[in-house]
Amino acid sequence: MSEFRYAQLCPLARATEVVGNRWSLLVLRELMLGPQRFSDLKRRLAGISTSVLAERLAALEGYGVVETAELPPPGCVSVYRLTPHGEAFRPVLLELARWGLRWLWPPGAGDHFELDWLRLALPSFAAPGPTSARRFELRVAGERIRFEGGPQGFRFAADDGPADLVIEAAPEDLVGLLTGLLPASAARARGVRLMGEVEALADLPRLFRFESPSRAPTQRQGANP
């Protein structure tokens, strides 16, 4: 367990003691995707040192949030996975992602990206209620995500049927298109490939509910400048 304590009898303080250290939240993000070997976590968490990763995993194990397990044959390797206490953090993590999206655009130069991170977060950004019945396929570096709208709203595609629009782009451009902050006219100039019904691109951000400081006033209405 972490030696750091706020020494406050408050559930928020306790939660911060568990997940508030640098990298802890991102370790949990990776384990939300499924069990991971130490080497997998080290590769995906670009910039973390081996010693810090070991410390964070040990601390999360101490709190009963993470545990180790052995994969059955033919894997037969040791992995880290979430306990029920760790799984209980999932909705909190996704709400943090929703809140953090306000500052995701414009992206920083050289930011690391894994398509799984987008796959994990997209359902939490889905717009409520029916949406346009379009199917989209997003491609990044040979990987893809397929989803669609319709009377039931956002959902991942359940089959390999054709998409109305296939978008192949750099990660930062995908974020811009999903949020509607990157206009379609600018997307092509940035090298985005659009294959299929290009007019469907206008429906893409309508499948989601994003908020961004660039769309909202910096002061409350009626507040003095």
- Assign a CATH topology to domain 103-207: Nonspecific Lipid-transfer Protein; Chain A (3.30.1050)
181-214: burial string, b at 16+ Cβ within 10 Å, e else:
bbeeeebeeeebebebeeebbebbbebbebeeee
Hey, what are 139's tokens?
């491609």
CA distance 172 to 176: 6
The CATH code of the domain at 11-88 is 1.10.10.10
Q: Give me the pLDDT at residue 5, please.
A: 86
The token pair that represents 180 in the structure block = 């509607």
Helix (H) or strand (E) holding 185: helix 184-189
Query: What predicted TM-score, i.e. pTM, was given to this entire model?
Result: 0.83
pLDDT for the residue 224: 46
Phi first, then psi: what are they for 96, rounded to 5°?
Answer: -60, -40
Task: Kindly report whether the peptide bond that precedes residue 128 is cis, defined as omega within 30 degrees of 0.
Answer: no
Residue pointed to by tokens 């054709």? 162
Structural contact between residues 125 and 207, judged by C-beta atoms closer than 8 angstroms: no
Question: What pLDDT sits at residue 42?
Answer: 97
Would you call 4 exposed, middle or buried from its count of C-beta atoms within 10 A (0-12, 13-18, 19+)? exposed
> Where are the domain boundaries for CATH 3.30.1050.10 in the chain?
103-207
Residue 138 pairs in a beta bridge with 145, 167
Q: In angstroms, how far apart are the furthest CA atoms of the chain?
A: 66
What confidence score (pLDDT) does residue 139 get? 96
What pLDDT score does 1 carry? 57
pLDDT tens, N- to C-terminus, the chain (225 residues): 556 788 899 999 999 999 999 999 999 999 999 999 999 999 999 999 999 999 999 999 999 999 999 988 776 789 999 999 999 999 999 999 988 888 887 777 778 889 999 999 999 999 999 999 999 999 998 899 999 999 999 999 988 899 999 999 999 899 889 988 888 888 888 999 999 999 999 999 999 988 765 544 444 444 444
Are the beta carbons of 69 and 31 closer than 8 angstroms? no
Query: Residue 56: what pLDDT?
Result: 96
pLDDT at 179: 86
pLDDT of residue 60: 96
Residue range(s) of every CATH 1.10.10.10 domain in the chain: 11-88
The pLDDT assigned to 3 comes to 65
**What is the pLDDT, as a whole number, of residue 216?**
44
